[in-house]
Amino acid sequence: MFTPLITHDSDGTALAAPVNTARCNGATYKTRTIGDLRIKDDRLRAAIEGTGHLLFDGGMGTMLQAAGMKTGALPELLNFEEPQVITDIQRQYVEAGCDVITANTFGANAHKLDGAATVADVFAAAVACARAAGAHYVAGDIGPIGALLRPLGTLSFDEAYDLFAEEVRAGVAAGVDLFIIETMTDLAEIKAAVLACRENSDLPVFATMTFEEDGRTFLGTSPEVAAVTLDAIGADVLGINCSQGPAELRGLAARMLTVTDKPVMVQANAGLPHVDDDGNTVYDYDAAKKKADEEGRSIDIHDYSYHGRKPQTKEAAILMMADTVEAATRTLKERTRENMTQMIRKLVRDKFDSGELNESPITFRELNEISDAFVRTLMGIYHERIEYPNLDALKKESAAAELPAKTETPQK
């Protein structure tokens, strides 16, 4: 497939600069092929060519929660503070048969780290942990920046590119074997990430987006559009991760395969999260639930919940509530302001009533203000189309105008 990227100078020298800068400097056009990639071995090459398979590891965040990580803590800092915890988790994945271990760098961009550590140091420590676990392939993990791109937010495309490029250079220096871009919902953001990988390294790029129950990303991208776009800008492997269980993602992957020849990867989770009566964010195992229903028995909700420490600060409490609210509102069939407000206020109040906020200095008045802020933010994303007066009449008039003129059939 024709890939519109400038990657080499006229003398064949690889470029490490954004496309526009390269063009301004007089670079000539050349597409990147699999022959240009630095691939560790034949098995990885076979996976990229679509003739072999690789098994990636599972989630890191949930494992860290189970290990007692505090809510609101930066998991990437554990690469320094408790490297053995990270290595032990990754070793479990290696022993379970995983081919690829994902470095603990999901949020290791300068925006999220906010001066707590350098991007280069985090990548170096994370890769060291993965290697110590016995990983055959180590993937440099690149997640969302944590700030919305324009026009929904204030971050420009170039700023996003620069943040991702810093991660890519750090990953190359640390010795990763490939990059995995994951859990993306914004097509513009994943474009910036893929371009940063393509233009600052010669390593394989795996890129995945996360989809909702309606078959689109949080910002409205369909599997077909995601696949065509990621293929065109040069992802070597593309696909889906997070959000839903294997049964739901199977159909979305099949839709991707209809529009791309690139290998498609799927990393399902335990299903789309919802909130139980106690305010816990819960993941359903569809097969287990279906079997239990058929046998006329119930499933213990606690078997599918993670119970971490209570938030110790206002910020941690807000983050916990934001995760719960965002996950729950995705399940609303009608996302009107009234329905959104009712659900969010109930979720936040349930958190308060259940005692989960007892160790946080947050006040009841602040909870009301936070609830209103959640409603405003989510309504900005799930906005409804404005219904104009007499819209139905206008539609009928427009349709009538497009009909061919009716001709009379001559009478014999």
The 3-state secondary structure of 363-390 reads CHHHHHHHHHHHHHHHHHHCCCCCCCCC
Residue-wise pLDDT for 348-394, tens only, equals: 887 787 777 888 888 878 888 888 888 887 776 655 444 445 555 55
Residue-wise pLDDT for 330-349, tens only, equals: 667 677 888 888 888 888 88
Position 184: which residue type? Answer: M
How is residue 257 written in tokens?
Answer: 């395969």
Position 27: which residue type? Answer: A
- Which residue's entry shows tokens 């989770």? 269
Q: What is the arithmetic mean of pLDDT over 50-56?
A: 95
Backbone φ/ψ region at 72: left (φ over 0), alpha (ψ -120 to 50), beta: left
Interatomic CA distance for residues 180 and 76, integer angstroms: 16
* 337 class by beta-carbon count within 10 Å (0-12 exposed, 13-18 middle, 19+ buried): middle
Which sign, positive or negative, has the C-alpha torsion 214, 217, 218, 219? Answer: negative
Reading across the β-sheet that carries 264-267, which strands appear in turn?
100-102, 137-142, 178-184, 205-209, 237-241, 264-267
pTM: 0.65
Per-residue confidence band for 156, with pLDDT thresholds at 50, 70 and 90: very high
Q: What is the arithmetic mean of pLDDT over 44-57?
A: 95
- In this predicted structure, the answer to whether residue 152 has a pLDDT above a threshold of 90 is no
Per-residue confidence band for 283, with pLDDT thresholds at 50, 70 and 90: low
Cβ pair 190, 179 in contact under 8 A? no
Interatomic CA distance for residues 254 and 259, integer angstroms: 9
Cβ pair 50, 265 in contact under 8 A? no
Interatomic CA distance for residues 160 and 225, integer angstroms: 21
- Residue 216 belongs to what H/E stretch? none
- Enumerate helices (H) and strands (E) in the chain, giving the number of each: 16, 8
Please give the residue that has the higher pLDDT: either 348 or 145.
145
Per-residue confidence band for 405, with pLDDT thresholds at 50, 70 and 90: very low
Q: Which residues contact 275 (CB under 8 A, 6 or more apart)?
A: 281, 282, 324, 327, 328, 347, 350
Residues forming a β-bridge with 184: 209
CA distances from 59 to 86, 91, 128, 224, 288 (A): 12, 13, 18, 26, 20
| Phi–psi pair at 264, nearest 5 degrees | -115, 130
pLDDT attached to residue 224: 97
Rounded (5°) CA angle 126-55-219: 75
